[in-house]
Structures are given as C-alpha cells and as structure tokens.
Amino acid sequence: MAFQSNNALVRWIDHRLPIFTFMNAELNEYPTPRNLSYMWNFGSLAGIVLVIMIATGILMAMQYTPHIDHAFDSVERIMRDVNSGWLLRYVHMNGAHFFFIVVYLHILRGLYYGSYKAPREILWMIGVVILLLMMATAFMGYVLPWGQMSFWGATVITNLFSAIPFIGPDIVVWLWGGFSVENPTLNRFFALHYLLPFVIVGMVFLHLWALHRFGSNNPLGIDAKGPQDKIPFHPYYTTKDLFGLGVFLLVFCAVVFFAPNYMGHPENYIQANPLVTPPHIVPEWYFLPFYAILRAITFDIGIPFTGIVLIDAKLGGVIAMFGAIAVLFVLPWLDRSPVRSGRFRPVFKQFFWLLLVALVVLGYMGAMPAEQPYVAISQIATAYYFAYFIVILPLLSILERPKPLPASISEPVLKGGGSVAGATAKPMEKP
C-alpha cells in the first residue's frame, strides 16, 4: 500500500526522498510471521543496547583521558565528580555484559530454528561479522579503564598474534605501537573503540536489509504461504518488543543500580602495573568459552613418528579459537537438512542441547587454571563443539528423518490434532 499523509510538507519531502514511504513499509506495514515467540525479541533488544552503548560511550569519552598515567584516574573522576558519571559508567560497563547475553541468545535462537539456512545465509554471515566486531570492541573497551585486568588481558591477547609463523613477533610490535603494551597501545585502542561501534551500526543496517528481503524465520521454520500467515509489524510486534524491552530493562537496571560490580572483576579497580602479574588473568565471562578453546590445544600437531612439528600448541590454540567463530561462517553449507526448525528434527534437537552444555562447560573451564582435569574436560568439550558443526550436522542432513511439517503457519494441522486456524498466533514458544 502506498504511503498516505495529510501533511503537505511530509508529502513534499516524500515525493523527492521517499523516506516516509520507506519507513512506513519497513517499520509499520512490514509483514511478519504471526507465530514468532519471545525468542524473537532479542534482535530488537540488541539494537537498543547498541544505541545505549554508543550514547553512554560518547558522553564518557568527553571526560575520559586515554593516557596510561591518567586513564585510571579519569575513570574514577567520571565515577565521583562528573554529574551522573557513575550512572554513565555503570550502564556502559554492565551494558557490555547484557549486550553479549542478548546477542548470544539471539544466535542460539538462530542455531535452533535453522535461521541460517537459505535464503538467509548472507543475513547470518553479517551477523557473525557483527559478533566479531562486538568482541573486538568489548576487548578494547575493557582496556580503557587501565586496571590490572585491562593491562594483563591486553598483554595476553595481543601476544597471541606472536604465534603466527615468521611474521608473528613483528605483528605484535606493530599492534602495540612499541615493544610492550604502552601508551600508544591505549591510544589506538581508544581510537578503535570509538570507531568500531559505528561500523557495527553500518553492519546492523545491512543485517536488517537482508532480513527484510525475505522477512523473519519463525518457530515452525516454514515459509509463509499467504497473507493469512503474516501480520503487520506495527502494532503487533512493536507492542510485543516494547513489553520485552520492559522486562529486559527491569533485569538490567536491577544489576546497574543494586549490583553494578557483580559481573566485573575486583582486580580491575587496581591501577595497571606492568611489574605485578595478577595471580589469575581471566577474561570477561563472554570470552571464557573461546578462551577455554584456546587453552585446550596443549599439544603440537605434526607428522607422526618423525618429530616434525607443523603447528605448535600455541598456534594450534589460536587457530582453534578463531576457527570456533570462522566455522559459523560456513554453517549454512554444513547443515544441508531442508528442515529449518529444530522442533521437527528429533535427533538434531538432542545434539543442539548438548552443544549448549558444551558451551557452558567451556565457559566454566575458561575460568579455571590451566591444570588437569580442567584441560582434559576443555579438550572434550572443544572436540564436541567442532564435531557438532563439521561432523554431526552434515551427517544428520543425510541420516535424520524429520517429523512431518505443518501445512502452513496459520494451520499447523499436525500439531496435536484439533487446533483451530490461527491458534498458533497466541501460544508463546517454549522450545
């Protein structure tokens, strides 16, 4: 339907730049499957959190000093002397944690309901790019307050690049801008921490563009058969998203106002000291599964019985860690099953929940010292993580017999028999 307006100015502008038509089509009329569950709330939540991060970040950047002698004190100044500075900082700091909670749930949703499958491969891959950018942004942001964990986290992670054969050590010096994590390192991390969120915004637009090409997937994983399967985004999903936002903010604000340091590490309230190594260098929780994968590779890979080492343990760990994300890029071509939703894939479903167990176990191991039995457990969980994508999903695509699919979204005739047309719109999914 063409966009109509009573306002002459709006019509005048829209005729020349059809921005109102565009917004009306994409945010108002945009046809959306009628059966989306609350698992579909996390996309819009992630977008809102991104805006909150940028707003609080820019305001803090007006008081923050990116110099190793002043960064720590300037953050304390924000906490003490800047009007509502404590609020800005606690929202930004906890916002990063909640950003990852929301995005991880968003990704798990996609994994379970097969949202990465055709025709949404590019949409999915842009999502993985966003995840990578978020990780880089959060890592560099964590360095800015220049506490002990900031400094030592930066040292450990930048040192990983020295595992690259031949040019590794030079790359590390280039990353640092010197011969250790020093003032130039902090400066460039601040510059990039300011820049990358805006790259993320650009990526989010591409993500939404690709999304609106075919519309959302849904808990049944089947395509809409006609207009009866879809409802306009507004007012149905605007109200549902706002309700979800309310619930999210209740939890988020409870943490920000009553336990703002619960998810942080106390050690980061000690100013960075290159001469004192903390007893335990632990990344933030959202990196722990990947950190565990990094440390799970404790063996060299080479030609058996010759003693020739092709990939030493350190490089192997780095490859595995980046591989854990890289494998997501090719996921659409690993899982060839034509059925999207895990709901109709009885075997897939079991392996999916096991993947979640493996991820939780990895997160737990990432916080443990690199000793036995933790290393062995990490190795098993790491093996499962990769096997899930590289072995299990391709095999299931051939071997699994999915349950019969419902005929359409509005008439899931196969679901428990006597359901009435349209009855699926209301019940909220509990996968």
The DSSP 8-state label assigned to residue 191 in this structure reads H
Do the beta carbons of residue 196 and residue 133 sit within 8 Å? yes
Instruction: Identify the active-site residue in 44, 74, 115, 216.
Output: 216
Residues in 253-272 at the binding interface with another protein, rule: CB under 8 A: 253-254, 256-258, 260-262, 265-267, 269-270
Token readout for 27 is 């945010």
**Does 240 participate in catalysis according to the annotation?**
yes
282 binds ligand HEM (CB under 6 A): no
**Does 225 participate in catalysis according to the annotation?**
no
Instruction: Identify the active-site residue in 284, 335, 411, 429.
Output: 284
Do the beta carbons of residue 410 and residue 224 sit within 8 Å? no
Do the beta carbons of residue 352 and residue 418 sit within 8 Å? no
Q: Name the residue nearer to ligand HEM (CB basis): 152 or 385.
A: 152
**Does 229 participate in catalysis according to the annotation?**
no
**Does 284 participate in catalysis according to the annotation?**
yes
Q: Which stretch binds ligand HEM (CB under 6 A): 170-178, 190-198, 242-250, 407-415?
A: 190-198
Which residue has 């895990």 as its token pair? 342
The DSSP 8-state label assigned to residue 17 in this structure reads S
Q: In what helix (H) or strand (E) does residue 359 lie, and over which residues does it extend?
A: helix 346-366
93 binds ligand HEM (CB under 6 A): yes
Residue 134 binds which one of another protein, ligand HEM, none, with CB within 5 to 8 A depending on kind?
ligand HEM
Q: Name the residue nearer to another protein (CB basis): 114 or 289.
A: 289
Instruction: Identify the active-site residue in 241, 335, 411, 429.
Output: 241
Calculate ∠ Cα 254-260-264, nearest 5°. Answer: 130
330 binds another protein (CB under 8 A): no
17 binds another protein (CB under 8 A): no
426 binds another protein (CB under 8 A): yes
CB of 224 to another protein, least distance (A): 15
Per DSSP, helices labelled H in 114-182 are 121-143, 148-159, 168-176
Calculate ∠ Cα 243-248-251, nearest 5°. Answer: 135
Tell me how far apart the alpha carbons of residues 51 and 49 are, in angstroms, rounded to a whole number: 5
Tell me how far apart the alpha carbons of residues 155 and 132 are, in angstroms, rounded to a whole number: 19
Do the beta carbons of residue 217 and residue 115 sit within 8 Å? yes
Residue 291 binds which one of ligand HEM, another protein, none, with CB within 5 to 8 A depending on kind?
none
Q: Name the residue nearer to another protein (CB basis): 176 or 252.
A: 252
Question: Across the strands, what pairs with 147?
Answer: 271
Residues in 112-151 at the binding interface with another protein, rule: CB under 8 A: none
Token readout for 235 is 């007012």
Q: Name the residue nearer to ligand HEM (CB basis): 255 or 301.
A: 255
Residue 90 binds which one of another protein, ligand HEM, none, with CB within 5 to 8 A depending on kind?
another protein
Instruction: Identify the active-site residue in 212, 234, 349, 415.
Output: 212
Do the beta carbons of residue 219 and residue 14 sit within 8 Å? no
Q: Name the residue nearer to ligand HEM (CB basis): 39 or 50.
A: 50
Residues in 208-237 at the binding interface with another protein, rule: CB under 8 A: 231, 235-236
346 binds another protein (CB under 8 A): no
Tell me how far apart the alpha carbons of residues 378 and 384 are, in angstroms, rounded to a whole number: 10
Q: Taking the mean position of all CA atoms in its chain, how far away is CA 321? A: 15
Q: If DSSP codes are grouped into helix, strand and coil, which group holds residue 378?
A: helix
The DSSP 8-state label assigned to residue 269 in this structure reads G
Mapping DSSP onto H, E and C, the string for 40-88 reads HHHHHHHHHHHHHHHHHHHHHHCCCCCCCCCHHHHHHHHHHCCCCHHHH
Q: In the set 30, 42, 64, 233, which binds ligand HEM (CB under 6 A)?
A: 64
Q: Name the residue nearer to another protein (CB basis): 97 or 120.
A: 97
Calculate ∠ Cα 114-117-123, nearest 5°. Answer: 105
CB of 102 to ligand HEM, least distance (A): 11
**Does 121 participate in catalysis according to the annotation?**
no
User: Dihedral, CA atoms, 92, 328, 172, 169, nearest 10 degrees?
Assistant: 160
Q: In the set 136, 208, 245, 347, which binds another protein (CB under 8 A)?
A: 245
Instruction: Identify the active-site residue in 193, 240, 265, 314.
Output: 240
Question: Across the strands, what pairs with 103?
Answer: none
Binding positions for ligand HEM, rule: CB under 6 A: 50, 53-54, 57-58, 60-61, 64, 75, 89, 92-93, 96, 99, 134, 137-138, 141-142, 144-145, 193-194, 197, 200, 264
Binding positions for another protein, rule: CB under 8 A: 34, 73, 76, 79-80, 86-87, 90, 231, 235-236, 239-240, 242-243, 245-247, 249-250, 253-254, 256-258, 260-262, 265-267, 269-270, 279-280, 282, 285, 349-350, 353-354, 356-357, 360-361, 363-364, 367-369, 422-423, 425-426
Residues identified as active-site: 212, 216, 240-241, 284
